[in-house]
Homo-oligomer: A and B are copies of this chain.
């Protein structure tokens, strides 16, 4: 099944040169006579030779692989980040070792433990590990952190304050005054940034949470929100907004009629749900690309910037979850009568167990 692939020695013999010449022909063409190189390439192609990156990695200590760790591969937030990173890696001739930490700091640690010796550099997209742990692995290999600022570790983040400002401006234009912030994970750097930015932009803002940053978390938030609703909500991310809207709707509220909702990320589903979400989009692809690009630059000798994170711009995508504030009602007609504990999940029947 597995035939032994040819080595530089096989090529050398067939081409009538030394193995070291074959090595050079592939590793640093230009350091070998053009015609010789040409011949070597031809012979190599005939033999089906391909450099063995592992063997190359032993003497050089470089593997031409970089690692990318995401906290949840099922989270659409990472899709474009992954692609951006992969683009940058591929262009530089690098292979990307993609790992799913599945929202577990332990898993992330273990995966990193494994990968750290195998890769030349590492991109951490939304790490769930404490800063100290990140600095620890940054001692072993160049590391770039995404969506988070870690002292002494190069990082790339989106302009959260600016994103919040755009959201607030948009809501203000629609006549909204009071805003409720639905908080995500306390460990999330972005969550802190967003809440602080919102409070700065609109001092009267209120904060609810933290909630789990997914659809169910948003649903849970609805009950709390209903006790003292505002006409506008800013949610930590799109998934939470979706859950919130579903639950509010189940409770009799109308979105955006009664409540306008803005969230963050602009995942694909944001455009698919009803109402489609108004959301602060992050330059995901650019972020992945910048992360991989920077780590590659450092691998190749660049001096990492220490003047704080690289900040990428955000933009507001206006869809259907925000609307003009209704001024002719002071207290909501909804939510005061029934607050169901969980009406979010539409009855799912597993017909397979019949």
* Residues of A in contact with B (beta carbons under 8 Å apart): 1-3, 5, 50-55, 57-58, 63, 65, 73-74, 76, 79-80, 82-83, 86, 90, 95-100, 102, 110-111, 113-115, 117-118, 138-142, 166, 170, 215, 242, 246, 268-269, 271-276, 281, 298, 313-320, 345-353
- Closest Cβ of chain B: how far from A131's Cβ, in Å? 17
Among B3, B138, B281, point to the contact of A140 (Cβ < 8 A). B3
Q: Is the CB of B76 within 8 A of A74?
A: yes
Could you list 19 further interchain pairs (A-B, Cβ under 8 angstroms) beyond the known A1-B138, A271-B348? A1-B139, A1-B298, A2-B142, A3-B140, A53-B117, A54-B57, A58-B58, A73-B73, A73-B98, A96-B99, A98-B99, A98-B100, A246-B272, A276-B346, A281-B352, A315-B352, A318-B348, A318-B351, A319-B348
- Closest Cβ of chain B: how far from A154's Cβ, in Å? 11
Q: Is the CB of A95 within 8 A of B114?
A: yes
Name A78's closest neighbour in chain B (CB-CB): B73
Q: Which residues on B sit within 8 Å (CB–CB) of A348?
A: 271, 276, 317-319
Among B111, B275, B317, B349, point to the contact of A351 (Cβ < 8 A). B317
Q: Lowest 4 A-B CB distances belong to which pairs?
A: A315-B352, A74-B79, A98-B98, A316-B351
Name A114's closest neighbour in chain B (CB-CB): B95
Q: Which residues on B sit within 8 Å (CB–CB) of A215?
A: 272
Q: Which residues on B sit within 8 Å (CB–CB) of A90?
A: 110
Name A166's closest neighbour in chain B (CB-CB): B351
Q: Which residues on B sit within 8 Å (CB–CB) of A3?
A: 139-140
**Copies of the protein in its oligomer:** 2
Q: Is the CB of B268 within 8 A of A74?
A: yes
Q: Is the CB of A54 within 8 A of B50?
A: no
Q: Which residues on B sit within 8 Å (CB–CB) of A275?
A: 346
A50-B117, A117-B5 given; A272·B242 CB < 8 A:
yes
Among B110, B269, B315, B346, point to the contact of A319 (Cβ < 8 A). B346
Q: Is the CB of B54 within 8 A of A82?
A: no
Q: Give the CA-CA distance A210 to B65 in the complex, in Å.
A: 38
Q: Give the CA-CA distance A115 to B73 in the complex, in Å.
A: 20
Name A346's closest neighbour in chain B (CB-CB): B276
Name A269's closest neighbour in chain B (CB-CB): B269
Q: Which residues on B sit within 8 Å (CB–CB) of A351?
A: 166, 170, 315-318
Q: 22 interchain pairs (CB within 8 A)?
A: A1-B138, A1-B139, A2-B141, A2-B142, A5-B117, A50-B113, A53-B114, A54-B54, A54-B63, A73-B82, A83-B100, A83-B102, A86-B100, A95-B111, A95-B118, A246-B272, A274-B274, A317-B348, A317-B351, A317-B352, A319-B346, A319-B347
- Closest Cβ of chain B: how far from A176's Cβ, in Å? 16
Q: Which residues on B sit within 8 Å (CB–CB) of A110?
A: 90
Q: Give the CA-CA distance A214 to B262 in the complex, in Å.
A: 26
Q: Give the CA-CA distance A141 to B273 in the complex, in Å.
A: 43
Q: Which residues on B sit within 8 Å (CB–CB) of A114?
A: 53, 95
Q: Give the CA-CA distance A272 to B245 in the complex, in Å.
A: 11
Q: Is the CB of A272 within 8 A of B271?
A: no
Among B55, B113, B115, B271, point to the contact of A345 (Cβ < 8 A). B271
Q: Give the CA-CA distance A102 to B83 in the complex, in Å.
A: 9
Q: Is the CB of B118 within 8 A of A53?
A: yes
A2-B141, A315-B352, A350-B315 given; A95·B95 CB < 8 A:
no
Q: Is the CB of B140 within 8 A of A346?
A: no
